[in-house]
Structure 1
Amino acid sequence: MFDYLLSIRFEYPYLLLVILLFIFCSLFCKAKIPTYIVPHLNIFTKNQASTNVFQGLLKYISIIGAVIALASPHTKLNTQLIKNDGIDIVLSLDTSGSMKELGFNPLNPMESRFTVVKDIVKEFIPKRVNDNISIVVFGTSVMMATPLSFDKDAQLEIIDYLDVGIVGDKTALIDSLVSSTNILKSSKAKSKVIILLSDGADNSSTIPLEIALKLLNKYEIKVYTISIANSNKIILNQIATQTKGKSFSANSKEKLNEIYEEINKLETSKIENNKITLKNYLFFYPLFLAIMSLIILIYLKNKE
């Protein structure tokens, strides 16, 4: 019960100052009335005093209850996200054979490139609180690892099962862009983004780059490209430039982490504007108490 009372908030808390004003006026702003001394009225004064105290209490309850009701007390039930106003993101990850290479993490040279990428992506995903995310992996062919979803826990678990060569050892980079576009083309999100990471030249795609770029621009999809170890920078830079994205290059785990941090800042969701806070309004209770007190007070006054 005590915890519940502590959870109560007011939409217009400044109105509660009216209570202090009322108490101040009741103590120091009393009207001066003439005093008449009538002997032998001791018998009536006790009853009158108790009646006045009760009426005064009713007056206080009426005014304080009304002010509290006007201040709009409420408790917070929960918060819901308006998810259509977020960003839909496809993480397109290279799982070709070259991602087995070691030495990308100077602090742990025995880690493969793809192990480092998985660790950083697993840190990136939970930061996109208000966004739909899909994961695509590409090698000789392309596979959608997860559809667009808000279920970050499931996505993090699926990443653990991804490995180099899961869809072949070659690099179908352009095909992965088209597959990512197919995922995003029917999205109603205000912003659609592909984050494409690769460490090698395309040697397996069946779709020309020009077609992929036309589709990306048709559906207004922005692409951020990340080149691992400065590979294939020309084509990745072309993709980013023509889709109004940005091109990056990473030669270490630290640099790759910085790139994902920068993309995270570039593509910010206005989370606070996408929330609806559900409230349980409580003004009825003090208002009902105030009205009942006022009715009783009027009845007693008329009875005198």
Structure 2
Amino acid sequence: MRFMPAYKESRDSVKVPFFDKLVELSEQRPEEGARILRRSRIQKILVTTTWLCLVLAAAKPQWIGAPIEQQKSGRDLMVAVDLSGSMEARDFSLPDGTTLNRLEAVKRVLDELARQRASDRLGLIVFGAAAYLQTPFTDDHEVWRQLLGETEIGMAGPSTVFGDAIGLAIKLFRENASDNRVLILLTDGNDTGSTVPPIDAAKVAAANEIRIYTIAIGDPATVGEDALDMQTIERVSELTGGASFQALDQDQMHAAYETIASMEPELYESVSFRPKQSLHWVPVAAAVVLFLCYHLFMALWTWRQGRQSRAT
């Protein structure tokens, strides 16, 4: 090749006294004899350096940056909403005289709650004849509010099983690592056949350090299946270290949430971490650059030697 030296290797040879005669008879031009190639000092240094660079790259060196602190949600706040048929009663009025059914009034207050609790991870359970998860714990309050708005009366059945709602909340809290767990439960009736009675469910919640705040909606004078069981509602909150409230109108419901907000102030948890950046490519790049520089130098040197030999 023009810019790269030819590869040479040693071979056995025989010395003869009539070499000139052999050349004449064979009609071949004599060339330089074979020689044993040995690595130069530069080549030895290059091989050693390349090997060390590859070993260093395999060790996966990292650049560790300065500590960075971030704040994340410090509390899991689950809201359980009763969607039984009695929530259709239009006994909540606005300042302008407009009347709302109980679920519409609850949605308005919860929408405001979501806007104010920026530091909490919110979840949503709906219950009637059974308890269902509407929204898992999330920091995206916009999605939470949207899914709250999609709830409708009767979509979970006509009954009221708030004992099962507490049980579902306990299961969801156990699946999350937060140490601050709060359940806000809204109902306008009494328990009508939960698999786990509300009092027993509250005892399990207390064992899991879950505080329950209950809000009884509607007229306490109601009788029959829709009657408010205030004794059970208050006992559930008492067992878990929470509090119970009674909301006969929207103002009282707002007052209940403000009280809960004062008892459960915004909570943040600081998380510190140090960013890491892999540097394995640096020794690899260094080895490639050294390899290319050496061969470029040798190519130029060979080319220059060839020009000098032709000039002479």
Output the TM-score relative to the length of structure 2: 0.59
Could you tell me how far apart the structure 1 residues matched to 2:252 and 2:202 are? Answer: 27
Which residue is 2:35 aligned to?
none
C-alpha RMSD of matched pairs (Å) = 2.1
Question: Whose Rg is larger?
Answer: 2
Which position in structure 2 is the counterpart of 1:154? 143
1:82 corresponds to: 72
Displacement after TM superposition at 1:168 (Å): 0.7
Which one of the candidate residues 248, 251, 254 is aligned to 2:248?
Answer: 251
1:198-245 Cα distance to aligned partner (Å, 9 max, x none): 000111312123431232022110000101123221101000001010
Q: In 1, distance between residues paired with 2:210 and 2:181?
A: 5
1:269 equivalent in structure 2: 266
Q: Secondary structure at the match of 2:202?
A: helix
1:1-304 equivalences under 5 Å are: 80-83=70-73, 86-107=74-95, 108-229=97-218, 230=220, 231-271=228-268, 274=270
Amino acid at match of 1:265: S
Structure 1: distance between partners of 2:140 and 2:184: 19
Distance 1:109 1:205, change over 3 A: farther
**Distance in 1 between residues matched to 2:104 and 2:69, nearest whole Å:** 36
Code of the aligned partner of 1:259: A
Contact kept, 8 Å, 1:103 with 1:109, in 2: the verdict is no
Rounded Cα–Cα distance in structure 1 between residues aligned with 2:273 and 2:207:
36
Residues 172 and 202, structure 1, Cα contact 8 Å, conserved in 2: yes
Task: State the secondary structure of the residue aligned to 1:226.
Answer: strand
How far did 1:106 drift? 4.7
Deviations 1:240-299 (A, max 9, x none): 00101001111001110111121112111244x648799xxxxxxxxxxxxxxxxxxxxx
CA distance in 1, matches of 2:175, 2:192: 29
Between the two proteins, the alignment pairs up a number of residues equal to 198
SS in 1 for 2:92: coil
Q: Distance in 2 between matches of 1:102 and 1:210?
A: 30
CA separation of 1:259 and 1:274: change in aligned 2, threshold 3 A: farther
- 5+ residue gaps, structure 2, are 1-67, 221-227, 275-312
Q: Secondary structure at the match of 2:99?
A: coil
Q: Which amino acid aligns with 2:230?
A: K
**Following the alignment from structure 2 to structure 1, what is the Cα–Cα distance between the partners of residues 273 and 262?**
25
Runs of 4+ in 1 over 6 A off after TM superposition: 275-278
How far apart, in 1, do the equivalents of 2:140 and 2:257 lie? 20
TM-score (structure 1 length as normaliser): 0.61
CA distance in 2, matches of 1:209, 1:198: 12
Structure 1 residues 252 and 277: CA distance shift in structure 2, 3 A: farther
The verdict on how the C-alpha distance between 1:79 and 1:119 changes in structure 2, with shifts beyond 3 A counting, is farther
Equivalent position amino acid for 1:161 in 2: E
Which has the larger share of helix? 1
2:84·2:127 contact (CA, 8 Å) conserved in 1?
yes
Q: Which runs of 5+ in 1 are unaligned?
A: 1-77, 279-304
Letter in 2 for 1:176: A
Cα displacement string for residues 71-97 of structure 1 (whole angstroms, at most 9, x for unaligned residues)? xxxxxxx984233xx111110111100
List per-residue Cα deviations over 1:91-130 (Å, max 9, x = no partner). 0111100000002125344311100100110100121111
Mapped contact 1:140–1:167 kept (Cα < 8 A): yes
Percent identity over the alignment is 26
